[in-house]
Chains A and B, each alone.
Chain A
Amino acid sequence: MAEQVGLEEFELCERCQSQQPLGFKFCGNCGVRNESIQKEQINSAFQIESNLKFLFAYIFIVLFALIINTYIEETFLTVVTVSISFAIIDLVFAIRQPDCFNLLKKQLSVVPIVLVVATFSVTGILVTFLGNGLNELLFQESYSYMYPFYETEFPLLYALLFVAVFPAIFEELAFRGFVFNNLEKVAGMKSAVWGSSFLFALVHFSIISLIWLVPFALLLTYIRRKSGSIGYGMIGHFCHNATVVYLDYAAVL
């Protein structure tokens, strides 16, 4: 009876060469697990392994660059160099997994943009006052994002470019883009939301800042998840940083 069935519905067991139904799990004749099905499992395990390697490679390169950065004196030239270096790191990783660029394709609508701009301008104001208060407590002095830019012709313009525009584009592409995507494949949605936000906060290298950086990142991740786009996040991130820079600039005036 079994001989009547077409040959293509059978495959041979790799160990005992007996005919087994296509896609069998275990060989009925010798009991060995089917290699080709196992290979599929190995492939999915291999995929997770490669996602993990990608994440670890990114995190370690960023941490290494951050360590070097702490030993570099802050001048306009070094700020430009460091900003461009981080942008190149993020771009190289993004190009290796280009599906994160799909998160930019979606058309943005006006109402959400207005909401995002308003919300993140407010967070910028809040963080400025919270941060200034803490800095004065911590160092008895206030830190300014503007210092490296006073030597230039247009301090505010350059500060906005390197403190607001660059981080907004590349940190969103990284943490709400490929970091989120890889974490989601490895561990699911929930771990991706918390993991990408936590990593984002960690690479700012300040334990105290975790207080506002984690909620800030969670908000950006939430927007990315709801909208399926990192465009809103880039706008919001820019507004937040731009507000901080502008308040810094205005305070010195």
Chain B
Amino acid sequence: MEAITCSNCKSDLRTEDVFCSECGYPERGTDIEKNNFERRIILKKRVVKDAEKKVDSVRIMLYILAGLNIVIGTYYVFLSGDEFLFIDGIAALITGIVFIGCAIWVNNQPLTGVMAAFIFWIVLQILAAIVDPASIFSGILLKIVIIGVFIKGINSAKDAVKYSEQLASMKVK
């Protein structure tokens, strides 16, 4: 066998090798093996894309939560004229700003961003429950959905990192 370069990653193949030792591409393999290699890459790319979509859904949820808080906060602070609502309004505005910050964080650092937002959301629920224990059960279905989105987001962020690394080891951009 003559010396050749890998058509996937351009590194030199040793003369006795069927597979590229750098990226695993079956350079001297059968067409079926080459197809399998391509299919593995496509599958991993799809997993990464799906994971990124789920992380995106966390981001959208954070923007919705931020928007709701900012609308309520603005109403309480500037429009209601109620002194007691004023302070709740300030808290809502801060909450909204923190959620926006978390959404930006998710964009840069998916895993830590989603976790920070999740912990913040949990603390908000705890604070509400301390003031009024019955608040735990109000909108319980929505809360379960939110928890689900957060947990899916954390797992997806991990998957995105893991499969991106595997693709990188197969020299795929």
Contact = CB atoms under 8 A, between A and B. Distances in A.
B122 A63 contact: yes
Contacts of B119: 59, 199, 202
B21 A27 contact: yes
A168 interface: no
Contacts of B13: 28
B130 A63 contact: no
Interface stretch (A85-93, A183-191, A233-241, A242-250): A183-191
Contacts of B14: 28
Interface in A106-154: 134, 137-138
A205 B86 CA distance: 19
A30 interface: yes
Contacts of B111: 186-187
B83 interface: yes
Contacts, number: 94
A21 B21 contact: yes
A1 B91 CA distance: 75
Contacts of A187: 109, 111-112
A79 interface: no
A26 B90 contact: no
A191 B20 CA distance: 38
Contact of B94 (A52, A186, A207): A207
Interface stretch (B22-30, B45-53, B59-67, B138-146): B22-30
Contacts of A25: 21-24, 169
A27 B14 CA distance: 11
Nearest to B37: A31
A24 interface: yes
A198 B116 contact: yes
Interface residues of B, number: 41
Nearest to B36: A31
Contacts of B20: 26, 28
Given A186-B111, A186-B112, A207-B94, A45 B24 contact: no
B33 A31 contact: yes
Interface in B132-173: 162, 165, 169
B38 interface: no
Contact of A208 (B26, B91, B98): B91
Interface string B114-127: 01100110111011
A132 B91 CA distance: 17
Interface residues of A, number: 41
Contact of A24 (B18, B21, B83, B105): B21
A191 B104 CA distance: 12
Contacts of A52: 115
Contacts of A70: 130
Given A28-B16, A31-B24, A198-B116, A188 B165 contact: no
B123 to A, nearest CB: 5
A33 B24 contact: yes
A25 B22 CA distance: 6
Interface in A34-80: 41, 45, 52, 59, 63, 66-67, 70
B43 interface: no
16 contacts: A25-B24, A26-B22, A30-B19, A31-B33, A32-B24, A33-B169, A63-B122, A63-B123, A67-B130, A187-B111, A191-B105, A198-B120, A202-B120, A202-B123, A207-B124, A208-B90
Interface of A: 2, 20-21, 24-33, 41, 45, 52, 59, 63, 66-67, 70, 134, 137-138, 183, 186-188, 190-191, 194-195, 198-199, 202, 205-208, 210-211
Given A187-B109, A195-B116, 12 more contacts: A21-B21, A25-B21, A29-B17, A31-B19, A63-B126, A190-B108, A194-B105, A195-B112, A199-B119, A205-B123, A208-B87, A211-B94
